[in-house]
Structure 1
């Protein structure tokens, strides 16, 4: 059995204590079929010194939950891992830039369809009011540029006062009503090949599709052709050496798909919805291990 490392949350942060072991178990079960054993280790144990990671043939940052609340140390850790040559997938430099949603602007510059976005260094009510007029809509979404799991994400209607605004760099986008009616669709890729597709819908009246807010997930037999085309265009525009990617998208009011996120750090793979139970993921890991042997 080949031993690899999976990075896990900061043990000093109790937020995820009861959740991540189950995710680790699902990953471990999938990888056993490829004769791979997983060893968990907190990412915060390796911020300034990567020596404990360099001995592994592969390090997966798949459960680094909470990094968005400790972003300065996250960026320091990514720099440490890159400089030490840790065999990490996705690569340390990729998971550094992917932690700031400003990458969506760079993908838009390459022709990828994303929702209209106003980028601000510190969001205030005047920014929100200006966004309504700029986008010509009555509802917007405000997000921190560094976030995860809808953390500090707000949905605001015209005339509504913003409360508990996110601190620091932020983004404002038109709210896409299709989130409530059609949901968000995620395409999962391992080794560059499509594995499976999941549709995620919020509970009535909410806009957040995460399971902690009651989101309902359903596997789709195949992606809509236009959704697959957008996902493939996104991956081509990213043009990085990726082991895995989750491409999240939703439909715009005027028609067509819009990229919501390209999740390259610690996406939920929804392995329970994968027809093969994660065999494609395990096979992609095995290919990388054999290539580096």
Structure 2
């Protein structure tokens, strides 16, 4: 745990929750430290699984970069339930850290990427069509354990089946989705929302370029670097993001932040790829005032538990 300064008497204390590898926070998250200090809020990094951290000392714990929990999700969810004041809340963490939430959003009328789920112990064979598909685990972050397969290629069909088998044999749930080719041209749009006195409000948007170039190469594969640029959100993207947030269990107005990731579907209309409510990159450095808006959101949560 890193102390950035000693808080004055009565100064609110905020933990920015991270992991051991990023014990001093991810660079983008460090951008909020100055704005928080300017608002009289003492912030410090705290590693989520560090047994020495006393979470009751904090007026608020803000999930930021605990990016090593994927292989220990049950432990992470149990930890979240023990933190007195956590943003986003523990029930949201439980719901959002398993991508099967996409089924619930789809049932609520949110257009999502069609997804098939393969449970541990189940067998899976590639579909008969020859399109491109993505295989990844239901609990994951970034592009870990994720591959892109062209089923017109017999070797890719074998690799896709082996990828699914590898995941389910390890007790994980695999998800299989058609690859949306618009990501190669238009890219993926991430819309960022932050808390205000009136509830969640749109802050900014970014474009993410394509990351998947082929089959999953396992732990020895090259790390895929995101290509990020600022983007202006369209009206239809904003409308879909609002529909998505309206379908969040327990109401979205209690959230500190939300990230809605969209890609154009086959007809050009946006579809939901992921709804990030647990530990999303917020891309503060890509929009003027974004770090100040996050600091205001944290201050709002401190004033109104």
Give the alignment's TM-score, normalised by structure 1.
Answer: 0.85
* Corresponding position of 1:40: 45
* Corresponding position of 2:92: 94
Count of residue correspondences: 272
Alignment counterpart, residue 253 of structure 1, candidates 249, 266, 273: 266
How big is each residue's C-alpha offset from its partner over 1:206-225, in whole Å with a ceiling of 9 and x where there is no partner?
A: 699xxx523221112x3111
Q: Which moved more, 1:151-160 or 1:109-118?
A: 151-160
> In the alignment, is residue 230 of structure 1 matched against residue 240 of structure 2?
yes
1:291 Cα deviation from its structure 2 partner = 2.1
Deviation >4 Å, runs of 4+: 203-208
1:77-156 correspondence to structure 2 within 5 Å: 77-81=79-83, 86-122=84-120, 127-129=124-126, 132-133=127-128, 136-156=129-149
Q: Contact 1:123–1:170 at 8 Å: present in 2 too?
A: no
1:128 Cα deviation from its structure 2 partner = 4.3
Distance 1:285 1:204, change over 3 A: closer
Distance 1:30 1:246, change over 3 A: farther
Q: Contact 1:202–1:213 at 8 Å: present in 2 too?
A: no
Q: Contact 1:30–1:277 at 8 Å: present in 2 too?
A: no
CA distance in 2, matches of 1:141, 1:152: 11
How big is each residue's C-alpha offset from its partner over 1:95-137, in whole Å with a ceiling of 9 and x where there is no partner?
A: 121110000111001001101111110387x6241xx33xx55
Mind listing any 5+ residue stretches in structure 2 that lack a counterpart?
1-10, 217-222
Alignment counterpart, residue 257 of structure 2, candidates 244, 252, 262: 244
* Corresponding position of 2:17: 7
The two structures, once aligned, show a CA RMSD in angstroms of 2.5
Q: Contact 2:80–2:86 at 8 Å: present in 1 too?
A: no
CA distance in 2, matches of 1:217, 1:147: 20
Alignment counterpart, residue 58 of structure 2, candidates 48, 56, 59: 56
SS state at 1:66 partner: coil
* Corresponding position of 2:181: 177
Alignment counterpart, residue 275 of structure 1, candidates 288, 299, 304: 288
Distance 1:140 1:113, change over 3 A: same
Q: Contact 2:237–2:270 at 8 Å: present in 1 too?
A: yes
* Corresponding position of 2:193: 189
CA distance in 2, matches of 1:123, 1:181: 37
Q: Contact 1:7–1:64 at 8 Å: present in 2 too?
A: yes
CA distance in 2, matches of 1:204, 1:99: 21
